[in-house]
Chains A and B, each alone.
Chain A
């Protein structure tokens, strides 16, 4: 028998629930607990703490940017990041690629019944940390809980609003033949890092995800007076897919030099082994910048000031010929098409 005095309350305080239950999304006490003790505590800022149906703020004159992205990643934690930091950085990066200064984020959670509270707390803490590091607060949110087996632990949607500074226009249609194609760093780390933990593969030189916010690099480029024609972050589908999208949107050709494309040794090794092409592997902290040729040196100098872009390099040029196509000059000096993938890259047999 325990000697604790009788208390007329539930012996198990709500906050000690070890797993997510359907009631955490039910609108009642458990949900309030979850919002207060997990989300508000981690993301705390005055706009969120008003606990209104939405966040409000006065608008400056100018152009707004608005974006949304959903995050489903297995496993939730991987070397160099997790679904939480990914969900914050990814949406910040989408705003940055519009030339915008990210202002505020929203966070929508779809939680699976039975998810460990400790896992949720780790993810939320990671989001809070990423938002603080980036200086972009999470000001509104939503939570739903789905039956066990109907989700994959946690799905997160983040939306973001940003302000495009006056005079800044960053659009695929501004891409011109003769422009230079810059990439902000080495490719494929995120995809290989996630694959390595998902499949239990181990590679020499521990590959970590490149997940990082890119808005400060973009702001620095803009503030330094670099003329930017287009920016695009490299996510799923990798460099090859982005170049194809841009070539098609701008109706121009692109010529890329394979030897100039930065790929780290461990990522190259892993890709060689698995039969994957690093040019199609996912990134979460890399972008392509298309700038006039005259701006290359200055743009690279700015990018090199930032850790997440210290390996930035020119990898190719925009051409008039072969419109809507990406041509790769291979390491042996021949040419081939760099096409969009059909479906996922699949590991090969031998």
Chain B
């Protein structure tokens, strides 16, 4: 299949892996930011092609995983309201809050629907004018333009029974939080290709220089990841600190201008609590006041105000996993007290979660290579 097979070519993968082995002279620890990249690495076993001295650490780039327990609790509360149609991307439904998950709400009779596009949710609102359509707006910069589009269209069309529970997060503040931590051991980043498709990579240049850390904007196919790693270790070995772009077929330095303009029109940065990590300033998005009527937290504040602060399962170490301080399989609960059927935290159930990737592709039973 075009755009897929050529980026999964075995011979080229072997050659790239060999090039990385030749390049790496010292031990390095690098982080792939995006959960999509983590899944590609684990699904295609790419880490097994890399030299032992190179440690890959999985980053916080899974929007489902970093959504706070309190927000999930708010989603569960709103989805349980009798007049609400609650729309979410499929990934979110299994994620446990402190009072259950959205699948549980659906089973109990709540109208919870999986959507594929924010515009589908808007269409639903137009079809059901007598009901409130509330959407769980989850994602990084990649999905923000689609939500912004839905909100501007709702305003243009005069649709008032449509609102967003916003859990949107931004990548650069999270990278800075990791780099500023005293425990940080990350020496280079593979930046998230699809986030940069929208945002470009100008904003990463300042981070690279401030923290003296090379960054390579990288795609998601096996050859993308291997080429990104190769470019990153070259920088590390040569002592260069640059932002390079491996994903040239999708990413330009300035990104997608119309999409960025739309996001700026509708959203503004806001502090955001990251699950397992804590609050990071200006790391989330909220609706600008001109679009405040579409903010579910405002619209339903009377229902939401009664909620107590959500509490994380104390045994879940997802904060350490999301910061790259713990490998999923080194967590004492992995595969025993925490499984996709009975998750302690979101990384075990999200399709981009690191724990889910290890559980699914490495097996919970040890297998010989």
A residues neighboring B (CB under 8 Å): 199, 201, 265, 268-269, 272, 274-275, 321-322, 325, 327, 330-337, 339, 341-343, 346-350
Q: Which residues of A contact B365 (CB under 8 A)?
A: 325
Known: A337-B362, A339-B360. A348 touches B91 (CB 8 A): yes
Selected from B142, B222, B339, B361, the residue in CB contact (under 8 A) with A342 is B339
B36 touches A336 (CB 8 A): no
Q: List 28 A-B contacts (CB under 8 A).
A: A274-B116, A275-B351, A322-B367, A322-B368, A325-B363, A330-B43, A330-B44, A331-B44, A332-B222, A333-B10, A336-B44, A336-B45, A337-B361, A337-B362, A337-B363, A337-B367, A339-B364, A342-B339, A342-B341, A343-B340, A347-B90, A347-B114, A348-B351, A349-B63, A349-B89, A349-B143, A349-B352, A350-B139
**B157 an interface residue at 8 Å Cβ cutoff?**
no
The answer for the CA separation of A274 and B117 in the assembled complex, in Å, is 11
Please tell me if B261 contacts chain A, counting CB pairs below 8 Å.
no
Inter-chain CA distance A346–B14, complex, in Å, is 32
Query: Is B55 part of the contact surface with A, judged by Cβ < 8 Å?
Result: no
Min Cβ gap B128→A in Å is 16
A272/B1 in contact, CB under 8 A: yes
Closest to B63 in A: A349
Residues of B within 8 A of A331 (CB): 8, 10, 44, 222
What is the bound-complex CA distance between A349 and B44, given in angstroms?
Answer: 20
Which residues of the other chain, B, contact A265 by a CB distance below 8 angstroms? Answer: 1
Q: How far is the CB of B9 from chain A (nearest CB, A)?
A: 8
Q: Given A332-B9, A343-B341, A349-B89, list of 10 further CB < 8 A pairs?
A: A265-B1, A322-B367, A332-B10, A334-B45, A337-B361, A339-B360, A346-B91, A347-B90, A347-B116, A348-B89
B9: chain A residues within 8 A (beta carbon): 332
**Cα distance A275–B36 when bound, in Å?**
10
Residues of B within 8 A of A268 (CB): 1, 4
Q: Indicate if the CB atoms of A350 and B43 lie closer than 8 Å.
A: no
Whether the Cβ atoms of B36 and A350 lie closer than 8 Å is yes
Partner of A346, one of B36, B45, B93, B341: B93
Question: Is B369 an interface residue, CB under 8 A from the partner?
Answer: yes
Residue on B nearest A344 in the bound complex, by CB? B90
CB of A26, distance to nearest CB on chain B (Å): 29
B352 pairs with A348, CB closer than 8 A? yes
Residues of B137-158 contacting chain A, CB below 8 A: 138-140, 142-143
A335-B45 contact, Cβ under 8 Å, with A350-B139, A350-B143: yes
Taking the closest CB of chain B, its distance from the CB of A237, in whole angstroms, is 14
Q: Answer yes or no: B58 CB below 8 A from chain A CBs.
A: no
CB distance from A225 to the nearest CB of B (A): 37
* Pairs A-B, 4 closest by C-beta atoms: A334-B45, A346-B90, A342-B340, A337-B363
Once the chains are docked, how many angstroms separate the CA of A325 from the CA of B364? 11
CB of B94 closer than 8 Å to a CB of A:
yes
B83 interface residue per 8 A CB criterion:
no
Contact B351 A269 (CB under 8 A): no
Residues of chain A contacted by B339 (CB below 8 angstroms): 342
8 Å CB interface, B39-83 against A: 42-46, 48-49, 63-64
A333 to B15, alpha carbons, bound, how many Å? 12
Contact of B116 among A199, A336, A342 (CB under 8 A): A199
Which B residue sits closest to A273, measured CB to CB?
B116
Taking CB atoms, residues of chain A closer than 8 Å to B273 are none
Q: Which B79-120 residues have C-beta < 8 A from chain A?
A: 89-94, 114, 116
In the complex, what distance in Å separates the CA atom of A269 from the CA atom of B222? Answer: 17
Which residues of chain B have C-beta atoms less than 8 A from A343's C-beta? Answer: 94, 340-341
Q: Within 8 Å CB of B45, what residues of A?
A: 330, 332, 334-336
Given known A-B contacts A322-B368, A332-B46, A349 and B138 have beta carbons under 8 A apart: yes
Q: How far is the CB of B11 from chain A (nearest CB, A)?
A: 9
Query: B13 to A347, Cβ gap below 8 A?
Result: no
With A and B bound together, what is the CA distance between A265 and B143 in angstroms? 26
| Contact A339–B194 (Cβ < 8 Å) | no
Q: What is the CA–CA distance of A332 and B222 in the complex, to the nearest angstrom? A: 8
CB atoms of A321 and B46 under 8 A apart: no
